[in-house]
């Protein structure tokens, strides 16, 4: 596999879950992967596992809430691997609660990472790509970007912003050779899901896992590797005619759910 041969790719939140799967897939496809995260231990483990597979990857510790730090990191990535070709805005945090149950602190915390963090990466990434002649950006949005999900007030707000930022960047930079698309997953089976169930339903984890799985019409949760495959396609030459799109990967959640 060499869809992304010699491409420089930044993946935010690449230490675990969907981001980890994207880093592994991109490295197998020939990309030089810059893994951005704040979880040093998990990131180093991911780097080691990719290198054991023969992939090229480097870890850059970066707090996406800090705009100056993000710009410095993008510059460091270019100095390490060369011009930036791919940016995957995957990093994000979750919150459960209605508008009444969401504190101002909760809202600010999610906004800082899920919205402002993506903004910082888009700004630095677009600047780098316009200077080098173009590239591909994929923002990880959510089915919550377009549908009402119970008790996800703050999370849905941030993912709606991710989707509209995608459309805006695609519109503004199509003439500069930059493609920008969103991927919108439904529930994906990650360590976050397992941790959530253990914390909130310690006596009913299997039952609740099955219940959450069945909310997708296809009858299961998605796998991180499936999201990684879609991101790989969108960043490859095969998707050269795709920009400004929102690509659901949801087991039929949006179109088939009653």
- The two counts, helices (H) then strands (E), for the chain are 10, 7
- 25 neighbors 49 (Cβ within 8 angstroms): no
| Active-site residue, 155 included | yes
User: Could you say which of 119, 155, 201, 233 is catalytic?
Assistant: 155
Strands 86-89 and 56-61: unpaired
- 74 neighbors 130 (Cβ within 8 angstroms): no
Q: 180, exposed or middle or buried, with CB in 10 Å at 0-12, 13-18, 19+?
A: buried
162 phi/psi in degrees, rounded to 5 = -60, -40
Rounded (10°) CA dihedral 169, 24, 96, 162: 0
Catalytic residues: 155
């Amino acid at each position: 596999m060499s869809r992304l041969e010699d491409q420089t790719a930044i993946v935010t939140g690449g230490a675990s879950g969907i981001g980890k799967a994207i880093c592994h897939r991109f490295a197998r496809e020939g990309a030089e992967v810059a893994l951005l995260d704040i979880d040093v231990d998990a990131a180093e483990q991911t780097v080691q596992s990719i290198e054991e597979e023969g992939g090229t990857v480097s870890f850059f510790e970066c707090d996406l809430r800090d705009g100056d730090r993000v710009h410095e990191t993008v510059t460091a990535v270019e100095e390490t691997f060369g011009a930036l070709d791919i940016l995957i805005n995957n990093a994000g945090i979750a919150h459960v609660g209605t508008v009444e149950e969401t504190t101002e602190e909760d809202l600010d915390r999610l906004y800082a990472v899920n919205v402002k963090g993506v903004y910082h990466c888009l700004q630095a990434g677009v600047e780098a790509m316009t200077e080098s002649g173009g590239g591909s950006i994929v923002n990880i949005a959510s089915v919550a970007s377009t549908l009402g999900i119970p008790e996800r007030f703050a999370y849905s707000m941030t993912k709606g912003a991710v989707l509209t930022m995608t459309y805006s960047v695609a519109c503004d930079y199509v003439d500069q050779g930059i493609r920008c698309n969103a991927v919108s997953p439904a529930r994906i089976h990650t360590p976050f899901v397992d941790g959530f169930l253990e914390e909130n339903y310690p006596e009913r984890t299997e039952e609740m896992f099955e219940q959450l799985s069945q909310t997708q019409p296809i009858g299961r949760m998605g796998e991180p590797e499936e999201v990684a495959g879609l991101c790989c396609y969108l960043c490859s030459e095969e998707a050269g005619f795709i920009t400004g799109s929102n690509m659901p990967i949801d087991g039929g959640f949006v179109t088939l759910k009653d």
